């Protein structure tokens, strides 16, 4: 259990340590770990080993296949990238055979494509994969090394360190990153090593020092793993949901869509539920061989817009029905919202009848957009009954806008308003000058 005294001391010392202004919406991108793990056999598996070639390939795919324009702008190295020894000056160094150009060269390659480079380190004697770790006396050195390489994001793991050591190490790295003068996004694995919940974790403090944090177990390439994560996050939503927001996010781990363990319906479910959670959308798959079906799910503009909503409010589970249908809700900007109807059934599609009134929507006319079918419907009243057909382990996801939004704006309210540098238009609507919207 975390010592309250030590936590308060750390808070007093480092409460203003993270001043990077980054990740006002959940980060998006690609990470190596779940798909490629610690494969370092470049002699026999050169296309899939942890090497500069792999990350250059993924940077090319993000830049050339439409990912970057949608917000997937991070290329993230995970474990097993370093040499087995630090250099003569005590600095981390990339494996010279697998990264012959070094990390600085890779960062330049990524930046040329208008992307950002993320890197991995571990607070402990060794990384989880057995490579050199970052002990307390190496934190400032490693932070400056990453800044010198022009890295944009750090995932800081916690293998081979104790709870007491982590109380010092994670705030110290936050302060060290800030001191470099380079804005580096900071992902902390600290909560996952301490049970993920108060009182072991002070999330108010964590939000002061980290941009995002892993709370729970690593995801595996299986539906069972996805369900375990969903159950834990929504089972503890009263404690976790208030802690998320612009600049500081709960991280349920990577999107495994496009790998081997999920059906198409399960893939849509992961995407929808991660969007409801305001989770980072960090893929771990092989972008070179992705099926068109997986790509369509991951590049769904409406779901991305919901995920990236400027309010940054994490959604909640509203209902668990005896029929094994669950309902999830997330409030969005401009008095709009997202609803997910999720089936835990394993037998057949289920016809679920309900109304918006049951979810405490106020009286009024509503426009509803089904984000997977691309179809609109209008509900004449909040208490108008409707039926959705949900596949086993699948979802129906709606974007819901009050029709009064049309009267106020003349824009029918048919899109989530998101902070996003890229503008995606539709044939149906005119985009007001100066506004930044994803149109559905």
Could you give the residue numbers annotated as active site? 157, 218
Quick one: which of 29, 101, 37, 35 has its CA closest to 63?
29
Burial per residue of 117-132, b for 16 or more beta-carbon CB atoms within 10 angstroms, e otherwise: bbbbbbbbeebbbebb
Q: Which helix (H) or strand (E) holds 76?
A: strand 74-76
Distances from the Cα of 181 to the Cα of 109, 132, 144, 178, angstroms: 22, 25, 9, 6
Per DSSP, the residues of 334-398 read GG-EEEEEEE--SSS-EEEEE-GGGGTPPSS-EEEEETTTTEEEEESSTT--EEEEE-TT-EEEE
Task: Judge contact between 379 and 386, C-beta under 8 A.
Answer: yes
Sheet holding 249-251, edge to edge: 249-251, 212-214, 185-188, 153-157, 116-122, 74-76, 28-31, 281-283
Task: Judge contact between 208 and 14, C-beta under 8 A.
Answer: yes
Q: Is 220 helix (H, G, I), strand (E, B) or coil?
A: coil
Start-to-end C-alpha separation, the chain? 47
Distances from the Cα of 305 to the Cα of 51, 98, 377, angstroms: 33, 37, 19
Peptide bond into 199 cis (omega under 30): yes
Residues contacting residue 40 through CB under 8 Å, at least 6 positions apart: 49, 50, 80, 95, 98
Query: What is the distance between the alpha carbons of residues 277 and 241, in angstroms, rounded to a whole number?
Result: 8
Q: Is 254 helix (H, G, I), strand (E, B) or coil?
A: coil
Q: Cα 37–259–325 angle (5° rounding)?
A: 120
Distances from the Cα of 407 to the Cα of 140, 377, 404, 414, angstroms: 55, 18, 5, 12
Query: What is the distance between the alpha carbons of residues 257 and 261, in angstroms, rounded to a whole number?
Result: 8
Q: Is 282 helix (H, G, I), strand (E, B) or coil?
A: strand
């Amino acid at each position: 259990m975390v010592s309250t005294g030590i936590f308060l001391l750390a808070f007093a010392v480092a409460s203003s340590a993270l001043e990077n202004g980054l990740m006002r919406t959940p980060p998006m991108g690609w990470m190596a770990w779940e798909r490629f793990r610690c494969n370092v056999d470049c002699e026999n598996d050169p296309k899939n080993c942890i090497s500069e070639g792999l990350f250059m390939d993924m940077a090319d795919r993000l830049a050339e296949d439409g990912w970057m324009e949608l917000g997937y702008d991070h290329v993230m190295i995970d474990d097993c990238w370093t040499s087995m020894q630090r250099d003569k000056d005590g600095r981390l160094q990339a494996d010279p055979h697998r990264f012959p150009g070094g990390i600085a060269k890779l960062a330049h390659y990524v930046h040329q494509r208008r992307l950002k480079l993320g890197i991995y380190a571990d607070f402990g004697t060794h990384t989880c994969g057995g490579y050199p770790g970052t002990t307390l006396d190496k934190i400032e050195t490693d932070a400056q090394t990453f800044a010198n390489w022009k890295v944009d994001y750090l995932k800081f793991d916690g293998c081979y360190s104790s709870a007491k050591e982590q109380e010092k190490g994670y705030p110290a790295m936050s302060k060290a990153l800030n001191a470099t003068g380079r804005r580096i996004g900071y992902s902390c694995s600290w909560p996952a090593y301490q049970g993920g919940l108060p009182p072991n974790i002070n999330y108010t403090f964590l939000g002061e020092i980290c941009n995002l944090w892993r709370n729970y177990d690593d995801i595996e390439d299986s539906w069972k793993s996805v369900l375990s994560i969903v159950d834990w996050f929504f089972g503890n939503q009263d404690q976790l949901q208030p802690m998320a927001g612009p600049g500081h996010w709960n991280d349920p781990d990577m999107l495994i869509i496009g790998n081997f363990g999920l059906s198409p319906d399960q893939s849509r479910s992961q995407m929808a539920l991660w969007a409801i959670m305001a989770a980072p959308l960090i893929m771990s798959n092989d972008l070179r061989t992705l099926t068109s079906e997986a790509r369509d799910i991951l590049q769904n503009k409406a779901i991305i817009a919901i995920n990236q909503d400027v309010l940054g409010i994490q959604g909640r589970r509203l209902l668990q029905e005896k029929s094994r249908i669950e309902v999830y809700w997330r409030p969005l900007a401009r008095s709009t919202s997202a609803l997910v109807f999720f089936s835990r059934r394993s037998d057949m599609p289920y016809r679920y009848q309900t109304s918006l009134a049951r979810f405490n929507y106020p009286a009024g006319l509503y426009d509803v957009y089904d984000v997977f079918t691309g179809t609109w419907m209008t509900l004449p009243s909040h208490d108008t009954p409707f039926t959705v057909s949900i596949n086993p382990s699948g979802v129906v996801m709606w974007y819901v806008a009050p029709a009064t939004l049309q009267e106020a704006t003349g824009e029918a309210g048919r899109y989530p308003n998101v902070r996003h540098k890229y503008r995606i238009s539709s044939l149906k609507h005119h985009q007001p000058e100066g506004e930044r919207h994803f149109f559905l």
